Structures are given as structure tokens and as C-alpha cells.
């Protein structure tokens, strides 16, 4: 049983919530639904890589062309993410998430019903635009249910949903593709999305810490209702920050370096969701079902990393450590670890290379933690904007990496084998050469972002500095 320093049961624990506080039980229910939403959203991203071998052959595309379609997912990502961030500061997050989820679900069905390369391109662009705000909006929603000192764990649980998406989707969709064909992979995701929407209509709700005016009167007493315990003075001031000139926040050192770190997160995700299944299938000569299983390893390790970092952050915040110590330093250290893993993976082969790749990828797909920590530099009303712009800036990494990896493979001489044939040993070697070049680039980017983060990301100091430039309260 979790206890406080006074020997009493910790009222912020999930066990306490389930037994006592009604609002807190609702908070964890919403958190659970947002985790599921992230699972669906990231399964939507992972499906492209899983169908790559079949889709490339059937639709007659080159690796560069398919990489372009992988990148196209992020063409509208940034724009819609920023627009949604502004809307989330003014309107109900419940309905914003509903509209986004409905779009995701509907965009799956054109491929199920026979769409070609053009339909794949258009639906990926629209899907990416609708999924761009998924993580920042989900984090804004979960933050609306927890006081500042208790957001680290629920934030990381939502983040874990982003890594569990491919973990759950890869084996499931691998078997669907093998049994029914690659188009049904999209159909299954569309059906699951519609089922989530029904549940969200019934259970979804904005919390008492939401920036909406209609919730403002609840904020003062929200902590008592949710945990029956007062919020720590170390963190309570984060939620009482007044509005600041937004561009000063967006051009602060903390934000810019975090954005660079998130750029590297998306760079890795772009490769994983577009090329990892194809790379494993060709280089290791795996079946579609086997690829679906092996592909989960990096995402499963990433989920473990996020869970561990979430627990570490929660424990450090209980000790009233700074946001830099509790969140920024662990996040940056994970990026350094990921960078080293990618660099070393280029110098090895076989099982060791797969292990290093798993560690490297798992430590670098932790974007939601970057969004959660940078949210502390501004008050509640501006938080959705800051998190959305962060995701928008970082998403450019996922625009570049799929095309670059496809080009590096082609430049190394790799060509996709015709349908029904097996790649020659020479072609496998050329693919590995091109992909290893992309691993080296990813590793160097992650190392740079992690080291800069350890030295310079300071959310607490940035927040206090920004408050000196705050606009007068209305």
C-alpha cells in the first residue's frame, strides 16, 4: 500500500482512487481511455510499415515513392496540431478528440474498399493531419484531471499508449494481413476507432483543471475533491501562472532544445513505422507473421522505458525535486542512451545488432514525455498551444526520415523484389548498407539532443523567467 511520509495511505495513488474519491476514479477512467486512444493512433501509424511488402508490390512503387507516402503522414501534422492547440485552449477537449477520432476511423476505409496508390497518399495526409494533435490534446485532457505535482505518472501512461499501439497492432495486423490481405489491416483499425468513439461519447469529459471558463470555478477545490490532500506549494504555482507573451515561451532555450529532442523522437518513429517491418522481412527473411511479432520489440521496450521514467519522475516529485531533475534529466539521459545504441548497432550484426536497435529505438520514442515536461513553462490556458507547437516542430523529423531512408537504400543499389520472388543476398546487403547509414544519422542526432538537454533544459527556471514578462491579469 502506497503511503505518505506521515504514514497515511497516499491519496494520489490509483488504489486510493478506486476505493474512495469519485472524481479521482473518473480521472483514472479518462486516463485509461486516453491510453487506448493513443494505442489506436499509433497503430494507425504502424500499419503502413506492416503492409509495405504487399502494398509496394501490388501498387508498383519504388522504395523512395513509398517513403514519400510514409512522410506524407506528417505533411498536415504540424499545421493541424497548432490550430488544434489554439482551439483546445478555448473549447472542450472532449469534442475536439471526438472529431479527431472520427476522422481517423473514416480514413481507414478507402483502402479497405480497393483504393490505389493515390488513395493511400491522400488518406495518409488527412490521417496525419487529424492525428497530429492526438498526443498534445490527450495530455491536455489528462492534465485537466490531476494537479501539477501528480501529472508525471498519468502523462507517461498516456505516452506508453503510443508505444503499445505498434506492440498490440503488429502481431494482430500481421495475422490479419496473412489471413485476409493487407487492405483488411486498415479496415480493422477503422472498426476499432468507431468503437472507441462510442465509449468516448458516454464516458469522456473535461476535468476541473481544464482551461475552459466553465471549469474555472472548479479548479480551486479540485485537488480536495480528487485526492483529499492539499497540493504541494512546490508545484501549485505552476497552475497559477498568468499568461505570458507566447512567442517568448516558444523561443525560450528550454522549448527550442526540447523541440530538437522531439525532432529526434519523430525521426526514429518515422523510420520505425515506415521501414522497420520491411527491413526485418528482407534482412532476416522473416514471414509476415514473424515480422508482426519481432516488430513489437522496440515499441515494447519503449513502453518499459516510459513506465520506468514515469515512476522515477513521480517519486522525485514526491520529494519536491525540480521539474528539471524529475523529468528533463531522465528524458535527456534516455536520448543519449538511444543515440549510443544506434551508433553501435551500425558496427555489429545478428542478434547483438537487433538488441542494440531495440534499446536505441525504445529510448528514443519518448516524445510525449518531452511534451509533458515543457508544459510546465506556461499556465493552464497556454499549455495546449505550447504542447501542440512542440509536436508540430518535432514532426518535421518524421517527414524527413522515411524519404531519406528510402533514398539511402536506393542509393546503395537496393531494389524491391517483384511480387512472389525472394531478394538476392546482394540486394539484402545493399538494403542493410542504406539502413545502417540512416542509423548513424539518427544516433548522432539523438546524442546531440540528449547532451544539450542535460545541460540546458530547465523548465522551472524558464517558467519563472517568463512570469516576469507576464501580461496583467484580466
What residue ranges do the domains of the chain occupy?
A: 23-207+238-467
pLDDT of residue 154: 82
- Could you tell me which residues are beta bridge partners of residue 220? none
pLDDT of residue 258: 96
Average pLDDT rounded to a whole number, residues 434-445: 91
Q: CA dist 362 to 303, 337, 416, 430, Å?
A: 7, 10, 28, 25
Determine the 3-state secondary structure of 41 from DSSP: helix
pLDDT of residue 221: 42
Residue 60 has pLDDT above 90, yes or no: no
pLDDT of residue 198: 92
pLDDT of residue 474: 43
pLDDT of residue 414: 79
Residue 261 has pLDDT above 80, yes or no: yes
Question: 173-182, 422-431, 455-464: which has the minimum mean pLDDT?
Answer: 422-431
Average pLDDT rounded to a whole number, residues 38-51: 80
pLDDT of residue 471: 60
The pLDDT tens digits of the residues spanning 188-236 come to 888 998 999 999 988 888 877 766 544 444 443 444 344 434 445 566 7
What values do phi and psi take at 402, rounded to 5?
Answer: -60, -40
- First-to-last C-alpha distance (Å) of the chain: 44
pLDDT of residue 344: 93
| Full-model pTM | 0.69
- For the chain, the average pLDDT equals 79
Q: Give me the count of residues in the chain.
A: 474
pLDDT of residue 223: 42
> For domain 23-207+238-467, which CATH number applies: 3.40.309.10, 3.40.50.720, 1.20.1250.20, 1.10.12.10?
1.20.1250.20
pLDDT of residue 51: 81
Question: Where does the pLDDT of residue 338 fall: very low under 50, low under 70, confident under 90, or very high at 90 and above?
Answer: very high
pLDDT of residue 271: 82
pLDDT of residue 386: 87
Average pLDDT rounded to a whole number, residues 65-79: 78
Question: 140-144, 237-241, 268-272, 443-447: which has the minimum mean pLDDT?
Answer: 237-241
pLDDT of residue 15: 53
- 167 closest CA partner among 276, 311, 284, 31: 276
pLDDT of residue 46: 74
Percent of the chain with pLDDT over 90: 15
Residue 445 has pLDDT above 90, yes or no: yes
Question: Where does the pLDDT of residue 1 fall: very low under 50, low under 70, confident under 90, or very high at 90 and above?
Answer: very low
pLDDT of residue 21: 47
The pLDDT tens digits of the residues spanning 367-422 come to 878 888 888 898 877 887 888 888 888 888 888 888 888 888 888 887 776 666 66
Higher-scoring residue by pLDDT: 243, 264? 264
Question: 26-40, 130-144, 254-268: which has the minimum mean pLDDT?
Answer: 130-144
pLDDT of residue 230: 44
Amino acid at each position: 500500500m502506497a503511503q505518505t511520509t506521515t504514514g497515511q495511505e497516499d491519496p494520489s495513488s490509483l488504489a486510493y482512487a478506486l476505493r474512495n474519491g469519485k472524481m479521482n476514479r473518473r480521472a483514472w477512467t479518462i486516463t485509461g481511455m486516453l491510453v487506448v486512444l493513443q494505442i489506436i493512433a499509433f497503430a494507425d501509424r504502424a500499419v503502413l510499415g506492416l503492409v509495405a511488402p504487399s502494398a509496394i508490390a501490388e501498387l508498383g512503387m519504388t522504395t523512395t515513392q513509398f517513403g514519400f507516402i510514409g512522410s506524407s503522414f506528417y505533411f498536415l501534422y504540424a499545421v493541424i496540431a497548432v490550430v488544434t492547440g489554439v482551439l483546445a485552449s478555448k473549447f472542450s477537449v472532449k469534442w475536439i478528440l471526438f472529431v479527431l477520432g472520427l476522422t481517423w476511423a473514416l480514413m481507414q476505409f478507402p483502402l479497405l474498399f480497393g483504393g490505389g496508390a493515390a488513395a493511400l497518399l491522400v488518406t495518409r495526409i488527412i490521417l496525419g493531419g487529424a492525428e497530429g494533435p492526438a498526443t498534445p490534446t490527450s495530455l491536455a485532457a489528462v492534465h485537466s484531471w490531476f494537479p501539477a505535482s501528480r501529472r508525471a505518472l498519468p502523462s507517461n501512461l498516456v505516452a506508453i499508449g503510443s508505444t503499445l499501439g505498434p506492440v498490440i497492432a503488429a502481431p494482430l495486423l500481421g495475422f490479419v494481413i496473412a489471413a485476409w490481405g493487407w487492405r483488411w489491416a486498415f479496415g480493422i483499425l477503422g472498426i476499432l476507432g468507431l468503437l472507441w468513439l462510442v465509449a468516448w461519447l458516454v464516458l469522456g469529459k473535461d476535468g476541473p483543471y481544464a482551461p475552459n471558463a466553465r471549469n474555472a470555478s472548479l479548479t480551486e477545490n479540485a485537488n480536495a475533491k480528487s485526492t483529499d490532500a492539499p497540493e504541494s506549494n512546490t508545484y501549485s504555482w505552476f497552475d497559477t501562472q498568468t499568461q505570458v507573451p507566447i512567442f517568448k515561451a516558444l523561443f525560450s532555450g528550454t522549448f527550442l532544445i526540447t523541440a530538437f529532442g522531439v525532432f529526434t523522437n519523430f525521426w526514429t518513429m518515422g523510420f520505425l513505422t515506415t521501414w522497420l517491418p520491411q527491413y526485418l522481412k528482407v534482412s532476416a527473411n522473416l514471414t509476415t507473421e514473424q515480422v508482426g511479432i519481432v516488430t513489437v520489440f522496440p515499441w515494447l521496450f519503449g513502453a518499459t522505458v516510459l513506465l520506468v521514467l514515469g515512476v522515477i519522475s513521480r517519486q522525485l516529485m514526491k520529494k519536491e525535486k525540480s521539474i528539471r531533475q524529475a523529468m528533463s534529466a531522465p528524458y535527456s539521459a534516455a536520448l543519449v542512451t538511444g543515440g549510443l545504441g544506434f551508433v553501435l548497432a551500425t558496427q555489429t550484426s545478428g542478434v547483438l545488432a537487433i538488441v542494440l536497435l531495440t534499446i536505441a529505438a525504445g529510448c528514443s520514442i519518448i516524445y510525449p514525455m518531452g511534451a509533458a515536461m515543457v508544459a510546465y513553462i506556461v499556465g493552464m490556458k497556454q499549455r495546449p498551444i505550447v504542447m501542440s507547437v512542440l509536436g508540430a516542430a518535432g514532426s518535421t523529423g518524421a517527414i524527413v526520415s522515411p524519404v531519406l531512408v528510402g533514398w539511402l537504400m536506393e542509393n546503395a543499389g537496393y531494389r524491391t523484389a517483384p511480387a512472389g520472388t525472394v531478394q538476392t543476398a546482394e540486394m539484402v546487403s545493399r538494403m542493410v548498407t542504406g539502413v545502417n547509414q540512416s542509423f548513424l544519422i539518427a544516433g548522432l542526432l539523438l546524442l546531440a539532443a540528449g547532451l544539450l538537454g542535460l545541460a540546458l533544459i530547465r523548465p522551472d527556471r524558464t517558467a519563472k523567467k517568463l512570469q516576469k514578462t507576464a501580461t496583467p491579469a484580466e
